[in-house]
Structures are given as C-alpha cells and as structure tokens.
Amino acid sequence: MPPSVEAVECRPRGGLPHFFAKAKQGGELRVAYLGGSITAAPGWRVQSLAWLKERFPQVSFREINAAIGGTGSNLGAFRVGQDVIAGRPDLVFVEFAVNDGGTAPEQIKATMEGIVRQIRLADPTTDICFVYTLSDWMVPDLRAGLFQRSASAMEEVADHYGIPTVHFGVEVARRLAAGTLVFKGEKPTPFDPAADPMLFSTDGVHPLVETGHKLYTEVLVRSLEHMQQAGSNDGQVDLPAALRADNWEQARLVPITAAMVDAGWQRVGPADDPLAKRFENRMPVLWRANAAGATLRFRVRIPVEEGVPGRQVAIYDLIGPGGGTVDVRVDDRPAKQVARIDGYCTYWRIATLSLGLLPAGDHEVTVTLTAEAPKKRDILFERNRSDLEQHPEKYSPNQWYASAVLIFGEALDP
C-alpha cells in the first residue's frame, strides 16, 4: 500500500476530552508513553511532560515510561497490559511510525487496533493520542504532501476510534523546504542549538535532544492546545465494533513460571544479576538458563477465529554478547537453532524469539539451550568485532535469559 493520507500536522478528531476534564479538576494524572527509541530518549517525552506540569500546575503528574528502543507495535500489543494499562493511565501517547516503517500495513492496522482496544476495554475514559515520527527515508513522502506508509495505515485505526493524531514530521518537511533545517549532519563541537539552519539529527532517525526533539515538542504542544478545543464528551465512550477480525486485542504477555522450566534454570533478581537489575522495569520476572540442556516448555491454545489462519507466538527474552544458541521445537515440526546474539550485540537488549504463526488448536513448545555456542565473531557486524577482541570475557558465556511467553489465547499447564 503506497502512502495515501494527506500530510496534516494534527487531526484532533475526538480530542482528549477525559484527560482535559480531569486536568481541570486537579489531582493526580498518569501519562503513558508507549513507543521505541525516539520516545525512550530524554527528548519529546520528558519535554512534553514538563509542559503539562507547567500548563496544569494544579495536577500532580506521574509518568509511565513504556518505551523500548528498536521495538514496534507488534511487541507493543503484547506488552501494553503490563507496561501501560497496569499503571492505570489517563492519557497514552503511542509512537511506532518509524519502527513499523518496514511492516506490512495490514499488520500495522491489526497491532495498533489491538493496542487501542486493550486500553479502551480496560478503561473507556483513558484517552489515546497517536504521534508520528520519521526517519530520513520517509522524508520524500512528507515533502510530497503525504504521510509515510506506516502512518497512513495507523490513520485508518485512528479514524475508526476517533483518536487524535499528531505528525511531528510535517514541520520538519516544511523547514527542509525553507532551508532552515538540516535533517542529518555531523554535530560540531561546540554545538549551538540556535544555529541556522537547525541540525535535526546525526543519524537520520534519532533527533538531537536540543534541536529535533525540541521541534517535536513544539509541534505536540500546539497540537494539544488545538485538541483542547475539540471534543466535549467527558462521559463513557462506547467501543465500536472491531475494524479487523485479526486485530491483536487478545495479545498477552504471560510471565514464565517455575512449572515451565527445568532444573537448568535459575530465577534471577536485581540483587543477584546485573541484567535483572537493568531490565527490572520491563521484565519483573526473569529466568537465566545456565547450562546446556536447560529447557523451557509450555503449551498454548490458539483460539478458532473466522478468517484468521493463525496467531503469532514468541518468547520475550534478551539477546547480547553472552547469548547462546537455542534449539526450538514446536509440536512435531523439525527443530531449528537460533542464536541469541545479533550483529549489534556489544550489549544486552530486549528482544523476541519468534515461534512463527501457529494455527488454531493446542501446541507444545520446547526450547533448549544447546552446548554449541554461536559463531559470535561471524555474527557481529564488522564494526563491532573489535569489541569482542578487546573484551572477550563479555562474549564467553553461553546463556539464555527469558522473561515471558507472548501468546494469543491461553497458556496451558506444561
């Protein structure tokens, strides 16, 4: 699907009536930010919350930071319950347009609708706003007056549910055309954020906090002011019928339990494992496979849904320099081996181990840490191989860290 939606900075639709009504009354309000690395950075997220605090001094704002770099709306649909809804938000910003840039539009619609329906089913008075960011390869669409493909797909969901949307990139495109912004360049030392033209980023994706993120915040602030004038219903909001039968409303994150693992696993916590401490906010339950043969086993029942051929199942885990190789088996299918390290892995980060699309019915999944370590030097990008040479101890372990299973339907006893 080519880009097809006219590039408009803000479409207020139903606005944020519940949020603004609550803000007028005062008290405590919770604002959630669900997205990728652009949201994880100390930029528009931090700056917009500071503006809200200044704009509504009678409110005690609490932030729910649910951003994870390098992740899209597919993982977002699985984790929104744990990372967002559990915090009982009053307003949720959703930012996945860049990380969903290579995803098929039909899947984007299904995952984004799943996020919306989970939030609205939990509390109809929680307001939602989609925000769209951009990377360098999306700029031509905006300069042609169109949203990029991912944002165009998200607009269909926003239209159906009356969700306001803000595209930060429309202003970027305007300034590019005027010659007052450089999208990608080398950051000079010293750096003057007020220099003309403005340097937006150094990598074509992640805005500089002092400039690009500040621009994003300015766009959001004026859009929020516009939204405050839109929508007046502060009562219950009826949830419309689903837009898509295959939406991800039933996506669930199920923490791994002791019943799913054998003696080769150890439940680790912040006091005894540095990775458990580092990822505690995202993975409150974390298990470590310490030796070859350690096995994770679970069963899942995929529901029968008309017109839906099957559902994705995955494991929420970590990949990094000490990652090993796992042997994955689903039912009686041939086993496949997967390394829990990739080309970027000079550090540990959150990932998912996909088990593929499983048809309706009961399935048994078995994942075992093998004795064969990945060929880490070959896997690492050439620019990262020097890290292995300088710090071989980082890469010597052969471990696997796993937190939860990502499923539709229900997890059955192993």
Query: Does residue 237 form part of some domain?
Result: no
CA–CA separation, 326 and 398 (whole Å): 10
Query: What's 18's domain CATH number?
Result: 3.40.50.1110
Cis peptide before 197 (omega within 30 of 0): yes
Phi, psi of 199 (to 5 degrees): -90, 115
Residues 186, 274 share a domain: no
Residues in the chain with pLDDT values less than 50: none
Q: Which of 181, 213, 228 is the last residue of a domain?
A: 228
Residue 324: give its domain's CATH number. Answer: 2.60.120.260
Q: Is residue 242 part of a domain?
A: no
273 plus 207 within the same structural domain:
no
Q: Find the domain containing 177 and state its range.
A: 10-228
d(Cα 380, Cα 382) in Å, to the nearest integer? 6
Among 228, 261, 291, give the residue marking a domain's end: 228
CA–CA dist 221, 26 (Å, integer): 20
Residue that has been written with the tokens 């039968």 in this structure = 245
Condensed to tens digits (0 to 9), the pLDDT of residues 254-264 reads 999 999 999 99
- Are residues 307 and 206 part of one domain? no
- Shared domain for 296 and 205, answered yes or no, is no
In a domain, 244, yes or no: no
Residues 211 and 342 in one domain: no
Buried b (16+ CB within 10 A) or exposed e, 110-124: bbbbbbbbbbbeeee
Q: What is the pLDDT of residue 231?
A: 63
Is 241 inside any structural domain?
Answer: no
pTM to 2 decimal places: 0.95
Q: How far apart are CA 403 and CA 253, in angstroms?
A: 9
Domain match, 137 and 199 both: yes
Contacts of 125 (CB under 8 A, 6+ apart): 18, 90, 236, 237
What does the angle CA 221 – CA 60 – CA 168 come to, to the nearest 5 degrees?
20
Yes or no: say if 300 and 407 are a contact pair by the CB < 8 Å rule.
yes
Q: What is the pLDDT of residue 409?
A: 79
Verify that 223 and 259 share a domain, yes or no: no
Same domain, 176 and 266: no
Which pLDDT belongs to residue 66? 98
For residues 257 and 221, membership in a common domain is answered with no
Same domain, 215 and 328: no
Report how many domains make up the chain: 2
Q: Are residues 212 and 343 both part of a single domain?
A: no
At 3 the pLDDT is: 62
**pLDDT tens for residues 300-327?**
999 999 989 999 999 999 999 999 999 9
Tell me: do 213 and 306 sit in the same domain. no
Q: Is-contact 188 42, C-beta < 8 A?
A: no
> What pLDDT does residue 206 have?
98
